[in-house]
């Protein structure tokens, strides 16, 4: 949805034409549901959470600041909704993301894909904090820029880059552990040998 069209739609909703909010809902529904699904690891919970996100967005629309990208504002609401769900669960469930084999040496943002649930990925992601999972999802799956993520998480782009690199490294290690592989054994299979001590 183009920015001008979006701002006009928001103005119309705020002026009382509440049916216009459906245009916003239809545009953002699929990405918000998928985001919630990645955060929660459950499609039914994701659908319920997305409904809450849109309800909260509608109720808070008058407080929306047009200087902030609308998508970033929506994802921020979705993030807080998912964190609330995770807290209520009292344990962090895994995310349904895919990690392509480490041997390909590709960047994490190309290795994580949202296709089918994978138990090893779920176990690896469950070991990360909700904030680390969120950062990996926003950057790798949602393909957001660090600038947009900084608006959602209220952190500098530089700090987010460093946290992303650390989170990606932790994810790779946990994934290797989940596969039952020793990191050095994996390196040796690639023909890289450790220096003898």
pLDDT at 184 (0 to 100): 54
- Average of pLDDT values for 67-95? 77
Q: Distance of CA 142 to CAs 60, 100, 159, 186, Å?
A: 23, 17, 19, 29
What is the tens place of the pLDDT at every residue in 103-119? 443 445 344 444 334 67
What is the C-alpha separation between 168 and 131, in angstroms, rounded?
Answer: 12
pTM score, two decimals? 0.59
66 or 113, which is more confident: 66
CA separation for the pair 139, 161 (Å, rounded):
10
From the candidate CATH numbers 1.10.3720.10, 1.10.1740.10, 1.10.3210.10, 3.40.50.300, the one assigned to the domain spanning 3-89? 1.10.1740.10
Q: 98-189 in CATH: which number? A: 1.10.10
Largest CA distance in the chain: 73
């Amino acid at each position: 949805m183009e920015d001008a069209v979006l701002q006009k739609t928001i103005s119309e909703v705020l002026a009382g034409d509440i049916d216009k909010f459906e245009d916003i809902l239809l545009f953002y529904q699929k990405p918000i549901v998928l985001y919630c699904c990645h955060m929660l690891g459950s499609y039914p919970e994701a659908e319920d959470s997305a409904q809450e996100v849109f309800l909260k967005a509608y109720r808070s629309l008058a407080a929306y600041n047009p200087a902030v990208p609308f998508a970033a504002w929506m994802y921020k609401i979705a993030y807080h909704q998912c964190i609330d769900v995770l807290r209520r669960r009292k344990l962090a469930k895994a995310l349904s993301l895919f990690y392509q084999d480490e041997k390909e040496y590709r960047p994490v943002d190309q290795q994580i894909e949202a296709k089918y649930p994978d138990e090893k990925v779920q176990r690896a992601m469950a070991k990360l904090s909700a904030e680390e999972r969120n950062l990996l999802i926003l950057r790798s799956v949602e393909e957001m820029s660090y600038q947009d993520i900084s608006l959602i998480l209220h952190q500098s782009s530089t700090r987010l880059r460093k946290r992303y690199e650390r989170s990606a490294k932790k994810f790779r290690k946990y994934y290797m552990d989940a596969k039952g592989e020793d990191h050095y054994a994996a390196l040796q299979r690639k023909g890289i040998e450790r220096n003898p001590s």
